[in-house]
Homo-oligomer: A and B are copies of this chain.
Amino acid sequence: MNTATISFSASGSSLIGYAEATHRGNSFQARDAFSKELLPGIFYQASPEELFLVASQALQAFDGMSRASASLRILFLRRLTNKLEAMKGGILERARQETALSEVRLESEFSRTINQIGSFIRLLEEGSWVNASLDVSYKADGTLLRNIRKMYVPVGPVLVFAAGNFPLAFSVAGGDTIAAIAAGCSVIVKVHNGHPGTSALVGKAMAEAGRETGMPDGFFSLVYDTGFEAGLTLAEDPYIKAVAFTGSLEGGIALMRTVSMRPDPIPVFAEMGSLNPVLLLPEALKRRGAEVAAAFASSIAQGCGQFCTRPGLFLALKGKDLEAFAEKLHTHFSGLLPQAMLSPTTTLNFQAKIHKHLRDNRDIKIRETTHNSDGMQTPSFATTDSETFRAQPSLQHEFFGPFALIICCTDVEDLLATAKTLSGQLTATVVGEGAELTAFSRHIDVLKSKSGRIIFNGIPTGVEVCPSMHHGGPFPAASSSFYSAVGVDSIQRFVRPLCFQSFPEQLLPEELKDENKLNILRRVNGVPGRQAIVKD
């Protein structure tokens, strides 16, 4: 193991395993998201030679991890938790400067990050996640008649692109990284340029926890990139076996395109946000439109609308109940103070997108509140008819920020036809009264077919991290509808089955031995259970 001293501040170099990169070429600095001032710390882009080293070490470390048992990863994840807790103050302070996210929000994101790590620790401790299956039968003389066993094994080194809007929970020690390491993969994190200092601090926690617990050098590397060069170079590297990404549709598609040029295909697990449509059924709108408007106003405005599950589209029948709903939404938005977005660029992009796609269209009516001065932003919404919505494909894409579009449909058939034009979504929400659900069952079926999660009388923001959560959905919400980016099942993105046929007991992984010393749930001859295999 490399015993070089680790001495980062919230600045610096890429990490090539436990060593700091030394190349001094392109560099950048972070800006205070409130004051726009430069923050301390110069971040250097890794050189091509350093990227080659990063990938080579990731492969070597992967081999080392494959020979170690899950207890090493458990040890590491526990130590990481301690390190993060100890560094919490500094991490949150820098994250607040870099992202302008509120203290409350960052506190909660920090807890979520720790809880995610905890859920993977428990998953590894329990052990059944490897999905062991054994088809074993003995002949009367005690020799084996059939001896076929399989389980999940890690897929190889994984490249993670950190998210801009979750500086902790989907960044350096976030869901993707932790799921991949829990699976037994080495991980290279490409830092998001919105929060490089936060990333340096969390990277330090990762490296220190790894070194202290004996994780092989290269199990984790951290890469800075002034643009897209370093990230895309790694995505093309033959040693990388899977890529995880959280970000924009444009970014995700560019990455998928680069990876599709490789001679060997590897999966890109991209979560690219969505409109998260809300179907407002007439009876609910009539009975409790004001209450519903209040709930969704908060959901849209929360975190300045920078959640991938922010409700961005309402589908409803036109009429005075919908008008009253819109007025209530406007009233709520008017009472809110402007907020800083993640960065000045985020604000500019958001405003430019509204300008480009909405302001010049006479069939779309924008309802804004105060003027958004000095890069601060208040929530807004717009209303239009279903014909305009269906005719303008750009409205099918997420506006990243505190905004929603209300589509006024002429009748139930128009509502159905509009729902059918939607592309893939992370979530879809139905707001309705029990009595009207049967009449709208076709509409609900359409939303089910378009989304990864369907919510009844709730809001889509505030993704609960639990085993039954699914965070993903049909394209373009995600690159593949098969996988989740949240919850312990997200580990399935980083494993492949490996089958052992007629293998000698001593060469089998503990999970597949007759004895089942780990007491995990396995399928034995097709039947789930925790029993050992005994010769009849």
Closest to A441 in B: B507
A150→B469 contact, CB < 8 A: yes
A469→B500 contact, CB < 8 A: no
Residues of B within 8 A of A448 (CB): 153, 498
Q: Is A392 an interface residue (CB 8 A)?
A: no
**Which segment, of A2-10, A74-82, A259-267, faces chain B?**
A259-267
Least CB distance from A225 to B in Å reads 25
Least CB distance from A449 to B in Å reads 8
Least CB distance from A212 to B in Å reads 27
Least CB distance from A47 to B in Å reads 27
A498→B523 contact, CB < 8 A: no
B265→A470 contact, CB < 8 A: no
Residues of B within 8 A of A449 (CB): 66, 156
A133→B468 contact, CB < 8 A: yes
| Contacts known (A265-B475, A454-B500, A501-B453); A507 close to B437, Cβ less than 8 A | yes
Q: Is A146 an interface residue (CB 8 A)?
A: yes
* Contact partner, A470, options B122, B499, B525, Cβ 8 Å: B499
Residues of A16-63 contacting chain B, CB below 8 A = 63
Residues of B within 8 A of A71 (CB): none
Dominant secondary structure of chain A at its interface with chain B: mixed
Q: Is A496 an interface residue (CB 8 A)?
A: yes
Residues of B within 8 A of A502 (CB): 455-458
Q: Is A521 an interface residue (CB 8 A)?
A: yes
CA distance A521 to B530 in the complex (A): 14
Closest to A474 in B: B496
Most buried by B among A122, A256, A498: A498
**Which segment, of A214-222, A227-235, A312-320, A478-486, faces chain B?**
A478-486
Q: Is A402 an interface residue (CB 8 A)?
A: no
B499→A489 contact, CB < 8 A: no
Q: Is A467 an interface residue (CB 8 A)?
A: yes
CA distance A498 to B437 in the complex (A): 19
Chain A positions within 8 Å of B, measured between CB atoms, are 63, 66-67, 122, 128, 133-135, 146, 148-150, 153, 155-156, 256, 260, 264-265, 267, 424, 434, 437, 444-445, 448-449, 451-458, 464, 466-470, 472, 474-476, 479-482, 484, 488-489, 495-504, 507, 521, 523, 525-526, 528
Ordered by A's residue number, 24 sampled pairs between the chains whose C-beta atoms are within 8 Å are A135-B466, A135-B469, A155-B481, A260-B260, A264-B424, A264-B475, A267-B480, A267-B482, A434-B504, A437-B507, A448-B498, A452-B496, A453-B499, A453-B500, A456-B500, A456-B502, A458-B501, A466-B526, A467-B523, A467-B526, A468-B499, A470-B498, A481-B496, A521-B528
